Structure 1
Amino acid sequence: MNTEGGAVRIRITRRGFLKLGAATAAAAAMASVASKIPFSRAVMAHGDPSSAVGQSTSSGLYPVYCRAGGSACSLQLSVDSSGRPVWIRPNPESPQAGECDRGASGVWLWDHPLRLSSPLRNAGSKGDPKWESVTWEDALDDIASRLQDIISKYGPQSVAVTSHWMPEFSTLGILLGTPNNAIVQSGTCFGASGIARVAIFGAGTASPFALIPDLANARYVLAIGRNFNCTMGELRTLSAARDDNVQVVIVDPKMPNVALPTETWWLPIKPGTDAAFALAIANYIIQNGLYDAQFLKSSTDAPFLIKPDGTPLTGADMGWGNSDFAVYDEYAGAIVSYRSSQSPSLEYSGSATLSNGSAAQVTTAFNLLAQRASKYTPQVASGITGIAADEIVGVAREFANMRGVAYTGWWSARNGNDVDDWRAIDILNVLVGNVERPGGLLFPVPGGVPSFVSVSGKTIKSVFGGSAPAPSSLSQYPRVDWYRWPVLQKAGVSQFKGVVEAALTGEPYPIKALFIVATEPLHRDVDIARLKEALESMDLVVVIDVLPQDVIDYADYVLPDSIYLEREEATSIPDTPDFAVEYSYPALSPPQGNDSRPMLWAMMEIVKRVNPSMAAALGYTDQMSSDPWGFQREVAEAEISALAKSYGMDPASFLSELRSQGFMVLKKHSYGLPALKTPSGRIEIYSLFALQNGLDPLPDYAPPAYRQPSAPDEFVLITGKDYQVTNQAAWLLPMKWLAREMRMIWMNPSDAERLGLSTGDTVQLTSLDTGESATGSVLVTDRVAPGVLFVPQAMGGHTSSMITEEFSWLTEGVNPNVLNPGMVSGVGIGVLNASVKVTKI
């Protein structure tokens, strides 16, 4: 396969794809290794999902949804008469009817040999633990006692909580009074694309679920840095779209592992050059008049006039007595308010007479975008990206003529220049006017399931009807990451590096206690060496998880959490245009001898000990304290009841239908731009948000932040996810066989030949920026571009002290985060790609 600058066509047959779905095929693949697994949890082969169609929960088929990925796929779990899981499949009627190995893995996770089964206390030291099993009472008492000491010495703001979008995880931090109550993974995940979305589409759009492509009606999908096999619901929708008439172009240094039953092309690109590629497309569209002029005039700031200092011309400049943005009206032949203009010009440049009598040269935002994009001809962009100029022209022409849709970005914390990558990509959708139109970008119907607790002004309320004064410390102190990177606060993005630096420097105040909830910072964040140093410096580190992830070796306590097949809960369905909710039935109890309990209950038990009056005021009773699973059920039912009432529905009937169907659509999407929370109230190709925050209002290309390879044995190391890739799925025994290549270092054949390497050879990777090194085996494959190495996130290089001989294969391979350059960009986004030297061992 030639990956030198040319597009590669990838395609699978349509037959069987829609019948099973890609995820069911993945589950079947996992079942095929069941005979190799020496324990009876591997029970996929115990039943055939197709035989259970139409059964209800009374016969052992239960609605659940997956928490192993952000898409929260709707699933169905089969349980046998002994209470053991049999198989998991997609819920075929749900708007999010997907499943991958991560969701299917629940049958192994339930009674995994390494699953945490009781609270653990570290009687050794951080980094060299000695684990003691203790009772819940003893663990919670000591954690609360230590917290009280920390809060009395350093204040509640010295506590931080981090997670990966787990429901209710911020409860503990809110009730303790720390502003650091919800520091999630976004700074090393979707943060860059989130800032880009906010810059163009306004506040409230940082989440990748805030703007989604209308795949069901798409004709042309441009997926830059997007891996479809991480979201099987999308894959299923796209596979059914327009009966094979949709064309998909994937731009990524690595070839996707799942091909689509439609016209699909892969364009290998040099890492960190996406902005040049997107701006070249924008340049072609503008130069050839392929943009939607009417949409740009009516819905964007493209016709706004910009002064030489980069700020927009307004009524205040013109003496109109208002602050309206100014445009040049072609009918009137004059500069007027954008509100009254009948035909605003996109291409005007001229002089504006200001209220003080002076003149200012002005030009439209559209002209400035055209000028910026003009630097990136197809030939120039080809030299930067490695994609042939004719391929760039072809994509640009097809995207414009077919009114394509481009993904607005998921995992985007990669190269230190990523915000501009995604601003440039987002603008492509705007240029062709494909926003809130069939086949374009959509704003999903807003909505959500009420949280157990919420902060309203100076009051904390619970879904039980209780309330308490909100601790003043919630608003009195800055959040540690937002203190360092103010743009993150304005965009609604997190950066865990802020916790690390506060712990080690005391700025703006010290972090002394940390709760790590269902996430793995050692396989998630930047500067792992400094992160470990920060964990060692803290007075209390508590990990709440299901498996003994590597980070537990730096914890004082580990609390065993429930899994998604054991909890009753509801959530809004992401990644769908409609507002819909889905439901998880507690179909399983923890295995015999396992004393795992719901995370929310553990948090409330800590609050009860630290601040009993707060817990009582919110409605947390002694009965709830003594019945963890009953408490979880009451929370779920109260949240569902509140949601039902907000839609004028009977709560009992609503809950009954959720338990029967597993989901409910509450409001359908209809096309049309919503009110946007940008400074102008319009889509902003010339970002006033960026301007207000000291950033360039237009995107541009800049080289990656890390040192670039310059020798034949130097490469860019990239990482990413796949349908098998999570911190959870990596530990499952089938992955010993199914995911062996996911623990290897992928290298292009041309590079392997040059270095004299073959599949299976052992090499050492050394970071050019930090000198850190790691060792792994090579996989020679043309699924990665020349000059690039690929190592999946979280799959290899595990170091947990609780890994047994049976699972020693987890230590194989490389944790790519160890090799990242330890950088955070100027706006607070982590840099996870790296340049490395390869040495054969």
Structure 2
Amino acid sequence: MTKNTKESATVLPKLSRRTFLGAAGATVAGAAVPWSTLEAEVAQLKSEGWEARPCACNVCGGYCGLLAMHKKGEPFTPQTVKIMPNPSHPQRGCCARGASAVWAWAHPLRLKKPMKRVGAKGEGKFEEISWDQALDEIAAKVKAICEKDGERAVAMTSHNFSSMQKWFGAALGTPNVIGHSSTCNSASVMGRRMVFGKGFDSAGKVEPDYERVKYLLCIGRTLNCAMGVSSVLARARQQGARVLFVDPRMPEGAFGDAEWLPIKPGTDSAFIYALVNVAIRENLVDRAFLAKWTNAPYLVEKDSMKPVTAAECCPSATDGTAFVVMDKTSGELRPMGLVKDEKGTVTGFAQPEGVDPDLDFTGTVTGPNGATLEVETAYAVFARTASKWTPEEASAVTGIPAERIATVAREFFTLGGVCDDGWYSSRNGNDNEAYQLMSALNLFTGSLDQKGGFVVTQGGGLKMPSASSSGTKGKGPAGQTWEIPFGKALDKEIYPESSGTFSAVFEAILHEKPYPVRAVFVTGSTMFHREANSNRMAEALRALELLVVQDILPHEIIDYADYVLPSTMFLEWHEYAGVKWALDGNIQLNSAGLTPPEGCEARHEIWQFCEILRRAYPDRAADRLGYAKECRTTEEWKAWFDGMTEKAWAKFIASKNESKPGEGDRIAAEIAEKGWCRTAEKKFGVYPYKKPFGTPTGKPEIVSFLCASKYRDKGLKGLTDFEYPKAYTQPKPRSDEFFLVSGKDSASCSGVTIFTWPTKFLGDRTLWMHPVDAERLGISTGDMIEVTGIDTGVKGEARVTVTNRVMPGSLFSHGFSGGVRTKNLPPEYAWVREGINSHWFATGFAQPVCGNLANNSSVRVKRL
């Protein structure tokens, strides 16, 4: 950049060690943070003239509950603002990343004014311009692109801020608001969808009852996000709960009284099948639960796993779409249907009384036309697949000793274990199947939606004004509706079950297939640390006519932008929202009250979108969003946008008072006092006992009928046996070839805090190597090595840390920590270039149907 590269004099904030580490201590030690001590500290600060302002950390997607303590009467500075956990919050916790938010807010490199590219894409050369010039020019380019190629030629992507982007995308009329979860949680979303169905597939919707678990199995789950989970789990660990991490590297959560079991990358499915194998052989499975409350006894065609319907074999059934079981009592086939309302919404089960489904039936059934079908139960399919995976067979694949696998299986099932369902879960290109098995494993214990089991969490019930689209319908913040001329987003045309695969637009950018994409907006996403195969993405970015990036710090994606728009961050927002990853339904206030630092002209992202739309299509801004007049100043914007928020909040409070006198007043008072409030208590034993899941059967499914019916010929079956990853070449054992795996910690792995000063000291930008590998190759801690992608040929350099916290044959790299290639960094921040970015070496392999990308890769190393 040609401007804003000089470091200004900034005095860094002072935070206590407890505040800085927060709930990370609960993760490591397994003991509860002394919240009473923190409460006393907050009270002491208040007595000294500090006020507590609640906020919800958005450094990652955890949204943990924090307090921004501010010295009354003083301007906002790093010395007058302290960030600490909200001690009463149900998702309380402040990791080092959240504690670094003040550094990010007042960062010397914070983007201060709109910028326009003056060099070649990728050079990072810009000039500062006014907001009017930036918005006018962007609006003119968007309008020209839409008039030439249609609104769908404009695409947008973000990881956490897609809801913001829809204020522009939905109102403009493009379907291509494509989130970016393909290298994050897409695999676990799809795994949950296969087992529990839509509506129950988002992160945090079904999860362990962390406070009451007795045995928690974390396969690839590190528990460093959300930090509130760690503090809740700490209470269970104090009561004797056991925690086992299964991962190629030892996460910090495994310190203290937890256990770590190293596993070869990409072999999770074989491990899980082996657990079920032992449980079935030793009669540890809850067969009664499987028979009554899952699709385990439902009949499927042999080989294809296509579910058998009543129309095929029960001529007397009134609902031919109902599925079928064999009744052990009568020896007859019985339909298992669903009750639907007039809108087609499933409301319950339509099943004959007294049916005792046969879990093990296999045989031939005859249809009304005399045709025969070879059938078996879904349980028989699963049991036969698992039967191949004895502990000995799984050991040969996973690297875990056979006796340890058998012990884990017995502990898990006898203690009523719960398997966590994933976070940051797209890894090896066989992940959908692995996360399907992780969710399904919880069905074999029979503790679904019971205390201490795998449960459906309760929502808070709050809806705030927003813009959205569904199919060809758009909806505005005040209920406005309009037609969108195009249907599915581009990623869903290629990957029908995608939850955000931005790489689907690359062919459209480069080769206009299936249609051209000319413009892309990126909101608050460090794309080069998110998108697998960095070179592939860079090629597409260079080919764009328009790339607009909204951010707070100069990430590498900005080097390719045509326009850069300085944005706000969560410390500067005012909003009400639900509390994520909490058992009960809660609502919290995010209102730290900070404004951008002096000299920073950052504006709210939604304001930017409203203004671009108003300048390009004033009628759409007015008619669809109610934004008819420019909000010139920040104060005018807050009056319009925050006013809309407060109006919706008042309506919510009034509705609560109407349904239960005084309830709304209670909620409002508690929000004002604590910054959060419980609005709905979790009721156990609801799903599927009283209410159906979102699957075709309405029950949790050990064989996915969605996939067996729709996608078996497209690469995603109802149940898949373990297969080695296709995303990368398997490295040769005991050689100079390695798996390269990545992951996060709770100290520094964040796109927001990657530049912050604490990360220089807390961040680990080295590559971890096991001592046995280091000795074989003559490598010591501190040595520099060259890393070359076996499949991509991409090269990088990094220093080595020799540690037994990584499995032999694997290298571990912290994600979002190093390998930053942003141009024109001042010397003070050259350290962010250290190390590698694991996405450089990834092939970009996408799984079919879902479109999740593999982060991991295989590499060759050489000591320099």
Distance 1:145 1:651 in 2: 46
Residues 21 and 329 of structure 1: is their aligned pair in 2 closer, same or farther, counting only changes over 3 Å? farther
SS of residue in 2 equivalent to 1:593:
coil
2:272 matched residue in structure 1: 278
Q: CA deviation at 1:230?
A: 2.8
1:110-149 residue CA offsets vs partner (Å, 9 max, x unmatched): 2100001111111112112321111111111111111111
Q: Does 1:676 align with 2:693?
A: yes
Structure 2's unaligned 5+ residue stretches are: 1-16, 28-36, 337-350
1:470 matched residue in structure 2: 482
Residues 346 and 21 of structure 1: is their aligned pair in 2 closer, same or farther, counting only changes over 3 Å? farther
Check conservation: 2:462, 2:577, Cα contact below 8 A: yes
Q: Does 1:752 align with 2:774?
A: yes
1:366-409 residue CA offsets vs partner (Å, 9 max, x unmatched): 11111010010000000000001111101110111111100111
> Which residue, out of 432, 443, 452, partners 2:445?
432
1:10 matched residue in structure 2: none
Distance 1:564 1:635 in 2: 18
Q: Does 1:718 align with 2:718?
A: no
Indicate the larger mover: 811-820 or 287-296. Answer: 287-296
Residues 312 and 129 of structure 1: is their aligned pair in 2 closer, same or farther, counting only changes over 3 Å? closer
**Equivalent pairs, count:** 794
SS of residue in 2 equivalent to 1:215:
coil
2:10 matched residue in structure 1: none
Residue type matched to 2:653 in 1?
A
Distance 1:681 1:563 in 2: 41
2:674 matched residue in structure 1: 661
Check conservation: 1:582, 1:664, Cα contact below 8 A: yes
Matches within 5 A, 1:101-250: 101-166=96-161, 167-181=163-177, 183-241=178-236, 243-250=238-245
Matches within 5 A, 1:605-754: 605-617=611-623, 618-622=625-629, 624-626=631-633, 627-648=636-657, 657-671=670-684, 672-673=686-687, 674-691=691-708, 692-694=710-712, 695-705=716-726, 706-710=728-732, 712-723=735-746, 724-739=748-763, 742-754=764-776
> Which residue, out of 327, 330, 337, partners 1:329?
327
Check conservation: 1:600, 1:632, Cα contact below 8 A: no
Distance 1:653 1:625 in 2: 37
> Which residue, out of 302, 311, 336, partners 2:306?
311
1:231-265 residue CA offsets vs partner (Å, 9 max, x unmatched): 2111100101163310001000010123466x411
Check conservation: 1:520, 1:551, Cα contact below 8 A: yes
Distance 1:504 1:622 in 2: 37
1:787 matched residue in structure 2: 809
Q: CA deviation at 1:653?
A: 7.6
Residues 477 and 775 of structure 1: is their aligned pair in 2 closer, same or farther, counting only changes over 3 Å? same
Residues 26 and 266 of structure 1: is their aligned pair in 2 closer, same or farther, counting only changes over 3 Å? closer
Matches within 5 A, 1:8-27: 23-24=21-22
1:147-200 residue CA offsets vs partner (Å, 9 max, x unmatched): 11111111100011111122423211111110012x122111111111111111
1:659-701 residue CA offsets vs partner (Å, 9 max, x unmatched): 4321121111101204211111111111111112223211321
Q: CA deviation at 1:621?
A: 4.6
Q: CA deviation at 1:458?
A: 6.7
Residue type matched to 1:693 in 2?
Y
2:64 matched residue in structure 1: 73
Indicate the larger mover: 454-463 or 765-774. Answer: 454-463
Residue type matched to 1:133 in 2?
E
SS of residue in 2 equivalent to 1:624:
coil
Q: CA deviation at 1:619?
A: 2.4
1:9 matched residue in structure 2: none
Kindly, what percent of the aligned residue pairs are identical? 36
Residues 614 and 360 of structure 1: is their aligned pair in 2 closer, same or farther, counting only changes over 3 Å? closer
Q: CA deviation at 1:226?
A: 0.2
Residue type matched to 1:51 in 2?
E
SS of residue in 1 equivalent to 2:258:
strand
Distance 1:310 1:545 in 2: 47
SS of residue in 2 equivalent to 1:486:
coil
Q: Does 1:390 align with 2:390?
A: no
Residues 571 and 164 of structure 1: is their aligned pair in 2 closer, same or farther, counting only changes over 3 Å? same
Q: Supply the RMSD in Å over aligned alpha carbons.
A: 2.4
Check conservation: 1:158, 1:512, Cα contact below 8 A: yes
2:43 matched residue in structure 1: 53
Distance 1:274 1:678 in 2: 24
Matches within 5 A, 1:462-611: 462-463=476-477, 465=478, 467=480, 469-473=481-485, 476-488=486-498, 493-611=499-617
Residue type matched to 2:703 in 1?
Y
Check conservation: 1:27, 1:101, Cα contact below 8 A: no
Distance 1:306 1:362 in 2: 5
SS of residue in 2 equivalent to 1:330:
coil
2:341 matched residue in structure 1: none
1:452 matched residue in structure 2: 466
Check conservation: 1:580, 1:667, Cα contact below 8 A: yes
1:461-514 residue CA offsets vs partner (Å, 9 max, x unmatched): 444x362x42422xx2432111212232xxxx1101112221112112111111
SS of residue in 1 equivalent to 2:508:
helix
TM-score scaled by length of structure 2? 0.88
Matches within 5 A, 1:254-403: 254-259=249-254, 263-308=257-302, 309-318=304-313, 319-321=315-317, 322-323=319-320, 324-338=322-336, 339-340=351-352, 341-403=354-416
1:796 matched residue in structure 2: 818
SS of residue in 2 equivalent to 1:531:
helix
Distance 1:693 1:177 in 2: 30
Q: CA deviation at 1:455?
A: 4.2
Residues 592 and 690 of structure 1: is their aligned pair in 2 closer, same or farther, counting only changes over 3 Å? same
Residues 648 and 151 of structure 1: is their aligned pair in 2 closer, same or farther, counting only changes over 3 Å? farther
Q: Does 1:808 align with 2:830?
A: yes
Distance 1:149 1:655 in 2: 47
SS of residue in 2 equivalent to 1:187:
coil
Check conservation: 1:444, 1:579, Cα contact below 8 A: yes
SS of residue in 2 equivalent to 1:791:
strand
1:13 matched residue in structure 2: none
Residue type matched to 1:756 in 2?
G
Check conservation: 1:455, 1:470, Cα contact below 8 A: no
1:402-441 residue CA offsets vs partner (Å, 9 max, x unmatched): 1110011122211111111111222210011121011111
Q: CA deviation at 1:317?
A: 1.4
1:590-646 residue CA offsets vs partner (Å, 9 max, x unmatched): 111111111111111111111112222332253634323434422432343344345
Distance 2:134 2:665 in 1: 37
Check conservation: 1:49, 1:87, Cα contact below 8 A: no
Residues 439 and 295 of structure 1: is their aligned pair in 2 closer, same or farther, counting only changes over 3 Å? same
Residue type matched to 1:245 in 2?
G
Distance 1:502 1:218 in 2: 47
Residues 567 and 656 of structure 1: is their aligned pair in 2 closer, same or farther, counting only changes over 3 Å? farther
Distance 1:407 1:425 in 2: 7
Check conservation: 1:275, 1:699, Cα contact below 8 A: no
Q: CA deviation at 1:20?
A: 5.8
TM-score scaled by length of structure 1? 0.91
Check conservation: 1:601, 1:625, Cα contact below 8 A: no
SS of residue in 2 equivalent to 1:501:
helix
